[in-house]
Structure 1
């Protein structure tokens, strides 16, 4: 799928608030894809979300999403009303270099275990979570966001495929790591893309220094508000 994209969202600074923000960003992008009828696949891997996006008109806009996304809001368990700042990192790359590789059954260790986290009582009481370890590389992927073992296994295999392809093409992988290091550094000089300020219903776009007092709309997938600038 030439010119398809891989969009990665990772938990940054802020603990539980960062994880909640990761879910907000995932929802924002997914809502946008749905509104624009863009084909996508979402895969969860621990504190990371990987989204495969089919080639579309907005590819160049998404490539500019890479960097630090910062949230400022009052956590639900904050008794003194203090605003906390948390971050997530977003990295977007072309999918041109990824090809489906054949995963041999003999190279895979597949384990089932009880799911944890959200998903309802059924998920938490059945062995629906799948963990797959690629024995030659010792890379493991765990997926538990679906109720079905079959769906979790397929998602885990796709995530594993993406990770192994990054390793397979060493030159490409080194280039990605170099870009990540420069874009997604935790230093003060990090490339900050946006600040999502909940108390003021405000988003600051640090690329062009524009502000939008439509935070709820944007988090609900109305990214055209930002992209049109």
Structure 2
């Protein structure tokens, strides 16, 4: 095991004590209170893991001291020798758990997320596949107890979506879904295919952390807001009410359009939420050029030659090409029930890379 630096562990415990005392004193203003509460929420499990690690280390040290003591009772030494393997295993597990907690954290991991799915190459079949992906994530979100709200959607001509954007609300959503960003490819026989030929289509997924007011500030002077009638089949409401909102962020050129609600006020609120998420993601990306290159490489253009995952319906197979993981449980993955296995594998690979980068592997 790579030794964990005691000075770093001591500094974490000391910071935990300071934050706890500051919050207990009630001297923090509202903004500081929010930030400190979040910090305490992050520190609590780490401090608990440090306590478990130290207790395991002390226990093993006591056992080894008893074994090495020539004058100790032979029966006690034999008992200690029997206990040593279990103590070593407990320390190793505590060490690994604490090691993972000490890895650099993505500040956005605990946030809700904005999920964007767009049909790529493949025409109507790509739109149908985009709809399948959206339902997969919606079912997975339901299993996790998250809430999904559609912000905007553009339906395909025979079903599915040309584009759908939704909020996925819940704690830790971004941490779970962030590796889904990229090009997803499907191989199957379309219902309209009379010759039984397998077609390949694609859709792109982007997952952005949802921004909060404390994360990003938008200046009203930087916004151009247009109202218009909602588009598509919608009866009299579509024809008479200018409830759709288009917001343009002038400094960046980012444009968002929302028309899902009948209320202009609600559409504006959703548009601002989506804009803040895009600005927040752009700010995070700008701070990390490597992440920017990775995201561009992942999302790509939606071309079927670029992909992070392939869904092969004839073989009931799902393959994630980044980690060479293949599951022959396509139906369970599309139902959301087996998606967790893929997401956990991606997270484990990410953690292994971080451990190697930190010299802790």
TM-score scaled by length of structure 1? 0.73
Q: 2:230 aligns with which of 114, 129, 135?
A: 114
Structure 1 residues 208 and 59 mapped into 2: Cα distance closer, same or farther (>3 Å)? farther
Cα root mean square deviation, aligned: 3.7
Give the superposition deviation at 1:39: 4.7
Deviations 1:38-91 (A, max 9, x none): 3555433763535455433x7654333233211122334434332221112234
Report which of the two structures shows the higher radius of gyration computed on alpha carbons: 2
Deviations 1:168-224 (A, max 9, x none): 56723755431223323457884x332222344443343343222342x32222123
Residue 220 of structure 1 is matched in structure 2 by 335
Give the superposition deviation at 1:37: 0.8
Contact 1:101 / 1:165 at 8 angstroms: preserved in 2?
no
Query: Residues 38-187 of structure 1 correspond to what in structure 2 (within 5 A)?
Result: 38-39=146-147, 42-44=150-152, 47=163, 49=165, 51-56=167-172, 60-92=175-207, 99-104=215-220, 107-116=223-232, 121=235, 124-125=238-239, 127=241, 128-167=243-282, 171-172=286-287, 174-185=289-300
Aligned pair count reads: 224
Residue 138 of structure 2 is matched in structure 1 by 30
1: CA distance between counterparts of 2:344 and 2:253? 44
2: CA distance between counterparts of 1:90 and 1:157? 21
> Which of the pair is proportionally richer in strand?
1
Structure 2, unaligned stretches of length 5 or more?
1-37, 39-107, 155-162, 346-361
Contact 2:148 / 2:167 at 8 angstroms: preserved in 1?
yes
1: CA distance between counterparts of 2:183 and 2:289? 21
Structure 1 residues 116 and 72 mapped into 2: Cα distance closer, same or farther (>3 Å)? same
Is the counterpart of residue 211 in structure 1 residue 293 in structure 2?
no
Structure 1, unaligned stretches of length 5 or more?
none
TM-score scaled by length of structure 2? 0.50
> Which of the pair is proportionally richer in helix?
2
SS of the residue 2:180 aligns to: coil
